[in-house]
Amino acid sequence: MSNILEIRNVTKIYPDMPRPALENVSLSLEKGQVLSIIGPSGSGKSTLMRCCTQLEKCTSGEIEICGIPLGKSKEDDRKALLKTSLVFQNFNLFPHFTVKRNITEAQVKVLKRSKEEASRIADELLKRIGLYDKKDTYPCYLSGGQAQRVSIARSLAVSPEIMFFDEPTSALDPELTGEVLKIIKDLALAKMTMVIITHEMRFAHDVSDKVVFLENGHVLVEGKSDEVLGEALTNERVRKFISSLG
């Protein structure tokens, strides 16, 4: 069995915080699987994702991406970084680049693809997300839903082995979340390995193989999507959290 992501006993301590942001968290994810991380604000969801994508270093424990351990050597870290990509809540598109250049930039600068190939891949992705006609537009002229779709295309363009999404629809007006969730669902159908932090419980239920509930830096519940979010849910704390979302 090939695990794309392996997290073992990860603890993260921020110096100015009285308790660890994460304590002894262990998780794994196989190729083609989708994991959703749910839980209240401050439970450590983003910290875990930031440790996996090297925006933070964990204090102790181990993380492996495609079998490559993080934090051991610069060379390995660089290799692992190329296998991951992160989609943020607030899109983080480059405002001074066109939509298309947002998608070609890392392909050329980081992956050293030719301009022609990067352009071909960008066009393909733009068609896939239904925004080819916006390719020469600047991000400020896009709706939030369109901007997030472009940001997903930008992430896909570097051919990651695993994609991370940190609340990809939280900054969107409710009527725009559907178009973004649809793209992520299509990726799941295409067997992209993904870790998704979300408060969209129906979506999480439908798209995930596994769901993890974090609280106070601990994994409180972990299981198959149906066990954590479906009829079979027995954990009172998780049930309360889900009903609090309305």
Ligand X SMILES: Nc1ncnc2c1ncn2[C@@H]1O[C@H](COP(=O)(O)OP(=O)(O)O)[C@@H](O)[C@H]1O
Contacts to Mg ion by CB under 5 A: 45-46
Q: What residues contact 75, with CB distance under 8 A and at least 6 apart?
A: none
Measured from the CB atom, the residue of 45 and 100 that comes closer to ligand X is 45
State the binding partner of 94 from Mg ion, ligand X, none, CB within 5 to 8 A by kind. Answer: none
Q: Identify whether the C-beta of residue 156 lies closer than 8 Å to the C-beta of residue 78.
A: no
| 168 near ligand X, judged by CB under 6 A | no
Among 2, 41, 234, 243, binds ligand X (CB under 6 A): 41
CB of 213 closer than 8 Å to CB of 241: yes
**Interaction of residue 47 with ligand X, rule CB under 6 A:** yes
Nearer to Mg ion, 45 or 134 (CB): 45
Q: Which stretch binds ligand X (CB under 6 A): 42-50, 71-79, 89-97, 109-117?
A: 42-50
Site for ligand X in 221-240 (CB under 6 A): none
Nearest-angstrom CA–CA distance, 195 and 72: 23
243 binds, among Mg ion, ligand X, none (CB under 5 to 8 A by kind): none
Choose among 224, 163, 229: nearest CA to 200: 229
**Residue type, position 75, single letter:** E
- Contact partners, residue 98, CB within 8 Å, separation at least 6: 135, 136, 137, 138
Beta strands 34-38; 193-197: pairing state: parallel
Q: Does 42 bind ligand X (CB under 6 A)?
A: yes
Comparison of 44 and 139: residue with beta carbon closer to ligand X: 44
**Least distance in angstroms from the C-beta of 88 to ligand X:** 12
Residue 216 has which token pair?
């106070």
- Judged by CB under 6 A, the residue of 16, 175, 231, 236 near ligand X is 16
Q: Is 193 in the site for ligand X (CB under 6 A)?
A: no
Pairing relation of β-strands 22-30 and 34-38? Answer: unpaired
Q: What is the DSSP letter of 59?
A: S
Residues 6+ apart with CB under 8 A from 77: 54, 70, 71
**What is the closest distance, in whole angstroms, from the C-beta atom of residue 46 to ligand X in the complex?**
3
- Of the candidates 33, 36, 46, 107, which one interacts with ligand X according to CB under 6 A? 46
Task: List the one residue from 44, 145, 160, 168 that touches ligand X (CB under 6 A).
Answer: 44
Question: Which positions lie near ligand X, rule CB under 6 A?
Answer: 14, 16-17, 21, 39, 41-47
